[in-house]
Chains A and B, each alone.
Chain A
Amino acid sequence: MSVTLSGYKKPNTEGSPVQFKPRYENFIGGEWVPPVGGEYFDNPSPVDGKVFTRVPRSRKEDIDLALRKAHQAKEKWGNTPAAKRSKILLKIADRIDRNREMLALSETWDNGKPIRETLAADIPLAADHFRYFAGVIRGEEGSVSEIDAQTVAMHIKEPVGVVGQIIPWNFPLLMAAWKLAPALAAGNCVVLKPAEQTPATILLFVELVADLLPPGVLNVVNGFGPEAGQPLATHPDVGKIAFTGETTTGRLIMQFASENIKPVTLELGGKSPNIFTESVMAKDDSFLEKAVEGFTMFALNQGEVCTCPSRALIQESIYDEFMERALRRVEKIRLGDPLDPQTMMGAQASRDQFEKIMSYLDIGKKEGAKVLIGGEAYQNEWYPDGFYVKPTVFEGNNQMRIFQEEIFGPVVSVTKFKDEEELLQIANDTLYGLGSGLWTRDVHQAYQIARKIEAGRVWINCYHQYPAHAAFGGYKQSGIGRENHKMMLEHYQQTKNLLISYDQNPTGLF
């Protein structure tokens, strides 16, 4: 059966802006280098389940090589004037912008997310991230403190040197940009390992910007977690490790870091509450529409977002009326061909991810949660072999496992609260504290409640916005450190203190 595609042309077909090579290499020391062991693995698209390129299956030897090249480059890059580093980051941003459609289509094909999202969010946000850090590094400065009339303490920011970065698969290029831009701006050389599910767009990105960076400044080594990720995380020549992923690997990375006494930043996910107070329904206006849309944000990126608003807490007094509107909005979520710009939800990123979501739909039902809508796989007529799930709303209570675990799928679990006390009790009854949403027309309530939510980010009357100038990171088991915002530079810097005496006289101690 042939089905006409209504949007962009599939990669590797005639006239498509994306033509993947049959095979890619690692990017080490400014060159495309085959893996030492000569092994490659298949990279399938979750859109149609079919392999579209092959990627190096690297091992410790490849990580060793990349780290050697990075160390050779670090002194020169670290001493490159901030103005010059900034200019390079701006050029990277321009190349991303000029190739927006190509990168967006590649990302959609590799990850499964709809093209409207990669065009409007992933790719432009990645470009903006490089521009933001190109800007802040120009304004960055150390400090001078006068200790006494003859003694001055000077604080100078120096790069860590060589850093390792392990990238997740949910926003492959954007998450790489979140980690790369501040690291490069601060003057570090990077060895980056893309997720094994989604290496393709990062490789296309490197092809675009390879000539802009001196050899060895950016190195990309592909491979599997236990074979390439672990050697990177354990390597004594890595000055700092940045990781986005889950808690067991997060703990493991901290264990490795403790052996080498290295700093880590970890972003480990959440179970974010999205809270709707009764004032939301006080008027039938555009703000109410915005709040209802805010509820539906659980479906963004098929729910594969660390801050997915996967628990909705709705005040009892408005519950029935609000949920009626919310479910009508969820019904309108358009599934279909991820390459069609009208499609709102695409494929889950991989088969095992799909199976995991199915296992949570199962335990949700077995624990007695009520399926209000969805609750099953979606049969995509365009791509019968892809991995698609219907947006799902469960009704239950916060002790159920679907309320406590990150499903990483388009699934929201809804419950009621009576008053502010119960709101906070439920919102904070979780192991995590990454994102949260609060919807209210009462400015006093907005501030007081937001301050009491144990999470690094509280979106007030909005959700799923990720500007580069707003700090992002978790409380509790959601991780350590922040991403975005100029404060991120500090995670990639050392502080050198020069303690200077302008006193000509001896101290008299000896």
Chain B
Amino acid sequence: MVERVPRVLVTEAAKQVIDRLREEHGDLMFHQSGGCCDGSAPMCFRKGDFRTGMSDVCLGQIHGCDFYMSRSQFEYWKHTQLTVDVTEGRGASFSLEIPLGLRFLIRSRPYTEEEQNHLVPVEEG
């Protein structure tokens, strides 16, 4: 059986930040934002603080955290693999890493044709 290609990955640097945040806040989740200002950035919340629903899909798990996106946004993003990274900087939003002076960030690449056929299926939100 061919190994499935994950839709979302995470860098070592981002894992370390997730660990720091988990120590302080407990279990975490991600929701990918869109739109103005800090839009297009992934938001990190305490698990359950952001209520996902029928309009969301779960793309997978990164370092033990579910990663969600709204279904409508996913339609425009589904041909790309996402990697959650982290950078220095002062973002706005309610994402939990903001007080650390750090910001989660998405890096992306399009799947190859071969990969397109073996993607991890998305789960309903």
Contacts and interface: CB of A to CB of B under 8 A. Distances in A.
Given A169-B92, A196-B90, A408-B39, A355 B98 contact: no
B61 interface: no
A282 interface: no
Given A246-B93, A248-B93, A352-B87, A406 B76 contact: no
A197 interface: yes
B34 A350 contact: no
Nearest to B96: A226
A18 to B, nearest CB: 20
Given A196-B92, A225-B95, A431-B72, A245 B105 contact: no
Q: Which 8 A-B pairs give the minimum distances between C-beta atoms?
A: A269-B36, A352-B89, A246-B39, A269-B35, A351-B89, A248-B33, A352-B103, A404-B76
Nearest to A403: B76
A268 B108 contact: no
A227 interface: yes
A225 B32 CA distance: 17
Interface in A159-210: 168-170, 195-197
B33 A246 contact: yes
Contacts of A230: 94
Nearest to B49: A252
A195 B94 CA distance: 11
Interface in A38-74: 41, 44, 57
Interface of B: 31-41, 43, 45, 49-51, 70, 72-73, 76-77, 80, 87-96, 98-99, 103, 105-110
B107 A362 contact: yes
Interface in A193-245: 195-197, 224-227, 229-230, 233, 244-245
A464 interface: no
Contacts of A360: 40
B87 A247 contact: no
B107 to A, nearest CB: 5
B41 A431 contact: no
Given A233-B94, A408-B39, 15 more contacts: A44-B90, A226-B96, A229-B92, A230-B94, A246-B40, A247-B39, A249-B33, A249-B93, A267-B36, A269-B34, A270-B35, A350-B89, A362-B107, A405-B40, A406-B35
Interface string A243-273: 0111111111001000000000001111000
A245 B106 contact: no
Nearest to A307: B36
Contact of A252 (B87, B92, B94, B103): B94
Contacts of B103: 352, 355
Given A351-B88, A477-B72, A169 B37 contact: yes
B41 A477 contact: no
Interface residues on A, range: 35 or more
A494 interface: no
21 contacts: A245-B92, A246-B38, A246-B39, A246-B93, A248-B31, A248-B34, A252-B45, A252-B49, A252-B94, A268-B36, A269-B36, A353-B89, A363-B108, A366-B108, A401-B77, A404-B76, A404-B77, A406-B34, A406-B35, A408-B40, A477-B35
A432 interface: yes
Given A351-B87, A359-B108, A168 B35 contact: no
Interface in A353-373: 353-356, 359-360, 362-363, 366-367
Q: Which of A247, A248, A270 has the most CB of B within 10 A?
A: A248
B98 A226 contact: yes
A229 B92 CA distance: 9
A225 B91 CA distance: 9
B67 to A, nearest CB: 12
Contact of A168 (B45, B92, B106, B107): B92
Contacts of B96: 226
A249 B43 contact: yes
A134 to B, nearest CB: 28
Q: Which of B35, B90, B91 has the most CB of A within 10 A?
A: B35
A268 B90 contact: no
Given A247-B70, A249-B94, A352-B87, A366 B109 contact: yes
